[in-house]
Amino acid sequence: MNVRDLEAIATDIRKDIITMITEAGSGHPGGSLSAADILTVLYFHEMSVDSNNPQWEDRDRFALSKGHAAPALYAVLARKGFFPKEELLKLRKIDSMLQGHPDMKGTPGVDMSTGSLGQGFSASCGMAIAAKIDKKDYRVYTLLGDGELQEGIVWEAAMLAAHYRLDNLTAIVDHNGLQIDGTNEEILSVEPVTDKFRAFGWNVIETDGHCIEDIIASIDKAKQAKDAPTVIVAKTIKGKGVSFMENEVDWHGKAPKDEQKLQALKELGGEI
């Protein structure tokens, strides 16, 4: 699949995010939109998964550590064929398989239930260790928010991953600079992110989190690293693709109204 195809898929993922959150009346559009390009590259270019066999033993694993961005993951999984796209419009409904945070027991394609920040990252370290013990070649990927780096559990796991030389683990930080209460700098600075991970023994790559080519190149570099885990610090824009949501902290966890949905879809190029 070429870069243009991947860009088109990422745009469609953003349309799905807007539509499903509007229909639900609640959700987290800002951080879902900022993650769309990264998830598109992982699932449509990089990871080896099988929608007909979600529990395939040799599949690559993914944990959405920033679990509130579940709409982005659901949109990707639906387009990969793990479940019908019609399910997207049942987001956050009672008895739906698509709850506000990923549920590995209820949603095909979800490898780890997440929500409490930092736990998906920690679970990914466990998956990577399991692959080493079992002598399996699958790789493990996890996506964190930058505000999530304020959690102590993240750095405990980072220390463990370096200690066990988990070169089959790639973490990606969705570094958009905003969290639910304001900017990272206002709430609790996480900088310098790259220096901190290096100090913990990680291989560090910086990239543009909205450039498909750069994301692909960064993941390729991560796969070449040996004897250490890799973190890709991806510079992103919260609410990417929708003008009135971009870099606006209010859209961390607020659903669009119908008229706002229509404006957003028009900017993105059409309905779901």
pLDDT tens figures, 113-148: 999 999 999 999 999 999 999 999 999 999 999 999
Q: What's the mean pLDDT in 66-89? A: 98
Please check the confidence at residue 251 and state whether its pLDDT lies above 80. Answer: yes
- The reported pLDDT for the residue numbered 270 is 66
Predicted TM-score (pTM) of this structure: 0.97
Residues 174-228 pLDDT 10s: 999 999 999 999 999 999 999 999 999 999 999 999 999 999 999 999 999 999 9
272: confidence class by pLDDT, cuts 50, 70, 90? very low
Residues 24-41 pLDDT 10s: 999 999 999 999 999 999
Count CB atoms within 10 A of the CB of residue 135: 6
Instruction: Quote the mean pLDDT of the chain.
Output: 97
1: confidence class by pLDDT, cuts 50, 70, 90? confident
Report how far apart, in Å, the C-alpha atoms of 257 and of each of 3, 24, 87, 110, 149 are: 32, 11, 20, 29, 31
Q: Which domains does the chain have, with CATH numbers?
A: 3-268 (3.40.50.970)
Please check the confidence at residue 271 and state whether its pLDDT lies above 80. Answer: no
Q: Does residue 197 contact residue 224 with C-beta atoms inside 8 Å?
A: no
Q: Does residue 256 contact residue 29 with C-beta atoms inside 8 Å?
A: yes
- The reported pLDDT for the residue numbered 97 is 97
Q: Does residue 82 contact residue 108 with C-beta atoms inside 8 Å?
A: yes
Q: Does residue 19 contact residue 270 with C-beta atoms inside 8 Å?
A: no
Q: What's the mean pLDDT in 160-179? A: 98
Q: Does residue 230 contact residue 205 with C-beta atoms inside 8 Å?
A: yes
Which has the closest alpha carbon to 102: 110, 90, 94?
A: 110
Secondary structure (H, E, C), 82-97: CCCHHHHHHCCCCCCC
